[in-house]
Structure 1
Amino acid sequence: MGQNLFNPIIPEKKWGSSFKKLLSATNTDEPTRNMMNEIYSSFIDNDGNFVEQFQSTGFDARTFELYLFAYFLESGFEFEESFDRPDYIVKKNGVRIAIEATTTNPTAGVTRNPDKDLLTDEELKQVINHELPIKFGSSLFSKLKKNYWELEHCKEMPLVVAIEAFHDSESLSYSSSSLIQYLYGEEERLVVDENGNEVIQKKKIDKHFVGDKKIPSGFFQQPNAENISAILFSNSGTTAKFKRMGYQNGLYSKFIKIIRNGFEYDYKPGATSPKSFTYDLDERDDETWGEGLVICLNPYAKYPLPHDIFPDAAQCYMFDGNIVSDIFGFHPYNSTTHTVGRDYECEPLPKEIRTLFKSELDELLYNLPTPPHTEEYEWYISLDKRVIGLVLFDELDKNWNYICLEKGEENYHATSIEINFEEIGEVRDRLIDKMLSCLK
C-alpha cells in the first residue's frame, strides 16, 4: 500500500470529527481504513492537498471523491493526470469525460436534523419536494458558475457533475427522487384513481421554496446547463461503503460480523414503492462500487453521453416527453450497515509475528478445515510465512481454541491444537508462544 491516510499530517486540534472517530475506532472499522488505503494507493492527487483535507474539514467530500475514483477504476476508465480541475478526466471506449464532484453541506446556523421517521407526511413532503432540491440546487449552481467547459482540456467533451448529500444526519437516507424532480422539473406522485388503483401521476414543477427562499425547478433547462451532460448521484460514497467493500475483500484481521438492511427497487409487476432487504455480508460477495449509482442524462446537453457508459448505474433520461429509468439487478435506494465485533486489549506482537488479513489467509490456506461450530476470530503469521496461527471461538462450549500450522514442502499442516481456554487473551498468549517455539 502507499501512503496511509490515517497517519496524521496535521495537528490533532485540526482533526475533523469524522476522521478522528475513524482513526480511533476499534477493529470493527479495520476494513474501512484498509479499503480506503488500498484505493488511495492508486489515487491521483492532482491538487496535492487530499490527505490534509481528508483529515480536517473536508472528510465527507474527500471520501466521496475517493469513492468515485474507486468506481471509475473498477469500471475500466483510464485517467488523465495532468489537470488539477475538474476532479477527473476519464476515458473509456474512445469517449473523454470531465468529472467534477460536489456535496451538499450544512447551512450555517441551522442545527435541525429531524429523524426522518418522526416527520409528519406533510413535513416529509416538504423535505422531498423543496428542501432537498434547494440543497442540490445550491451545490450544482456553484459548480455551474465555474465554467469548466471553457477550460482548454474540457472543450467539446461531456462534463458530468457527481453529487452526494451530506448536509445533515438524515441526508443519506433519501433516494435520488428529489434530485430527479429538480433536474427535470417534473414530479411523479402516487395517487388512487377512480377505480381504487394506485397510479403514478405526473406534474410539472415551476419552483422549489423554503420560507422566503425560492429557486426555479428544472436545472437542465437553466442558462448554461446545456454544458452539463449529466448528473451522477450517489448516497453510498461513504465510510459504510468502504467498510463493506473492505470486508468483501478480506481486509480485516479480527472477527467482525456485518449486516446490511435498507430498501431496494421492487421488480414485481405493479409495484409502486421500494421493498425492504436484509442480508449478512458473509452470504454475499458481489457488491460493486457502482451499486446504487444513478446517472441522470441531460436531454438538452451540448455533448450528450452515450447510454450505459457508466456500468451498474441506473440510467435516468427523457424519452417521448417522459422521465424514464432503466434499472438492472439489485438497486438499493438507501441502506444502513450494522457491524458487531469484540473489543479487547491486545499486547504488542513479537517482532517475528504480524496479524494476517482474512484475504491473505484465504490465499495461503484454501478451504481451511476448522472444527464444527467454531468461528475464526484472529489470524497471525510469522514474517517468513513459515507459521500461521488462528484463534477460534467454540459457539457450543463457549470457550476459546487455537490452531497452529507450519508450512511443509507444499502445504501448511496443523502441528498444534489446544482447546477450552476461558479468555481470549489467554488463548492468544499461548498461540503466540507456540508460534515462536516453532520458529526456533
Structure 2
Amino acid sequence: MVWSREALIGYLYGQGAKTRENDGRKFAVPTTATHLLGGTGFPAGLFTDSRNEELSAIIFTNACAISKLSRVSISSGADTKGLRYTRIGNFFDRTPGALKGIPFCLDITSEEYKTLWPQHYEPWCAEMEVFHNPFARYPFPKALLPEVTHWFELGGEIVCESFYETSILWSQTIIQKQSDRIITLDDFVADPT
C-alpha cells in the first residue's frame, strides 16, 4: 500500500514525474505514459478520454488496515491497554517544488499527533482520496465526501484539493509494550553524512 498511490495516479491519468538535476538543483519533470511498465502492455490513462465516461470516480485509500482502526480509537481517547502506538511515515510537503515528503515519527496518543486534525483525533476519512474522471457522464459530487482529498481536472491540469492541512503520503504503525524503548525518527531515517 506504500507505493500504490503513485501507481494509481499514473494508471488513471497517464501522468507522472521524473526527477532531473540542473546546476545541482533537483526538480520534477512531468511525464506521460500510454502503457504501464512491465511486459503486459496494459494501457495507462483510464481517465484520459471519454471511453470510460460511465466511471465517475475512483475512491482510494492507502490507510485501510487494522492499524487505522486502532489509531482512530486510541487517538480519540480509547485505552491503550499497556501498549504504545507509534506512527512513522511521510507528510505531504506543500512547499512549491518539493520532491519528497516530510518524515515523521509520532506517538498517536501525543498532543502533537492529535492536533494534526481539527477534531483533535485522527478522522476516519484521513488518507481517503477521490480521483475524478474529467470525462464522466455523471460527475461525482465533491459534497458527497467533503472531508477527503479530491483529484480533478482544472484548466487542463490535474489538481489535488485537500480538506485537511495534514496529508500523509504513507505510514506504518508500530505497536510496542509501554516498557519498550521509545522509537524515534532517527531509528528510521538514515544519517545523510
> How far did 1:326 drift?
1.8
The one-letter code of the counterpart of 1:311 is P
Residue 339 (str. 1) matches residue 175 (str. 2)? yes
The one-letter code of the counterpart of 1:339 is I
Residue 274 (str. 1) matches residue 101 (str. 2)? yes
Alignment-derived partner of residue 318 in structure 1:
153
Secondary structure of the structure 1 residue equivalent to 2:136: coil
> How far did 1:309 drift?
3.6
Paired with 1:190 and 1:272, the residues of 2 have a C-alpha distance of: 8
- State whether residues 175 and 333 of structure 1, in contact with CA within 8 Å, keep that contact through their aligned partners in structure 2: no
Q: 1:192 to 1:309 in 2, by over 3 A?
A: farther
Q: 2:35 aligns with which of 204, 207, 213?
A: 207
The one-letter code of the counterpart of 1:295 is V
- State whether residues 13 and 45 of structure 2, in contact with CA within 8 Å, keep that contact through their aligned partners in structure 1: yes
- State whether residues 234 and 293 of structure 1, in contact with CA within 8 Å, keep that contact through their aligned partners in structure 2: yes
- State whether residues 229 and 302 of structure 1, in contact with CA within 8 Å, keep that contact through their aligned partners in structure 2: yes
Deviation string, structure 1 residues 53-112 (Cα, Å, up to 9, x no partner) = xxxxxxxxxxxxxxxxxxxxxxxxxxxxxxxxxxxxxxxxxxxxxxxxxxxxxxxxxxxx
Residue 191 (str. 1) matches residue 26 (str. 2)? no
The within-5 A match list for 1:336-415 is: 336-341=172-177
Q: 1:319 to 1:342 in 2, by over 3 A?
A: closer
- State whether residues 132 and 151 of structure 2, in contact with CA within 8 Å, keep that contact through their aligned partners in structure 1: yes
Q: 1:287 aligns with which of 111, 122, 125?
A: 122
Paired with 1:173 and 1:323, the residues of 2 have a C-alpha distance of: 22
Asked which structure has the greater RCO (Cα within 8 Å, sep 6+), the reply is 2
> How far did 1:308 drift?
5.1
Paired with 1:225 and 1:295, the residues of 2 have a C-alpha distance of: 16
- State whether residues 76 and 122 of structure 2, in contact with CA within 8 Å, keep that contact through their aligned partners in structure 1: no
> How far did 1:187 drift?
2.0
Paired with 2:9 and 2:21, the residues of 1 have a C-alpha distance of: 23
Scaled by the length of structure 2, the TM-score of the pair is 0.77
Q: 1:249 to 1:185 in 2, by over 3 A?
A: same
Deviation string, structure 1 residues 261-300 (Cα, Å, up to 9, x no partner) = 1011012343221111111112124211111112111000
Secondary structure of the structure 2 residue equivalent to 1:227: coil
Q: 1:322 to 1:260 in 2, by over 3 A?
A: same
The within-5 A match list for 1:207-286 is: 207-211=35-39, 213-221=40-48, 225-252=52-79, 254-283=81-110, 284=114, 285-286=120-121
Secondary structure of the structure 2 residue equivalent to 1:262: strand
Q: 1:257 to 1:209 in 2, by over 3 A?
A: closer
Paired with 1:342 and 1:266, the residues of 2 have a C-alpha distance of: 31
Q: 2:134 aligns with which of 275, 299, 324?
A: 299
Secondary structure of the structure 2 residue equivalent to 1:173: coil
Secondary structure of the structure 1 residue equivalent to 2:19: strand
Scaled by the length of structure 1, the TM-score of the pair is 0.36
- State whether residues 50 and 135 of structure 2, in contact with CA within 8 Å, keep that contact through their aligned partners in structure 1: no
The one-letter code of the counterpart of 1:334 is W
The one-letter code of the counterpart of 1:226 is E
Could you tell me which runs of 5 or more consecutive residues in structure 2 were left unpaired when the two chains were aligned: 115-119, 180-193
Secondary structure of the structure 2 residue equivalent to 1:214: coil
> How far did 1:196 drift?
4.3
Q: How large is the RMSD of aligned CA atoms in angstroms?
A: 2.3
The one-letter code of the counterpart of 2:161 is D
More helix, by proportion: 1
- State whether residues 182 and 218 of structure 1, in contact with CA within 8 Å, keep that contact through their aligned partners in structure 2: yes
The one-letter code of the counterpart of 1:274 is G
The one-letter code of the counterpart of 2:47 is F
> How far did 1:330 drift?
0.7
Q: How many matched pairs?
A: 170
Paired with 2:146 and 2:134, the residues of 1 have a C-alpha distance of: 20
The within-5 A match list for 1:25-64 is: none
> How far did 1:207 drift?
0.8
Secondary structure of the structure 2 residue equivalent to 1:188: strand
> How far did 1:192 drift?
2.3
The one-letter code of the counterpart of 1:306 is P
Paired with 1:335 and 1:209, the residues of 2 have a C-alpha distance of: 25
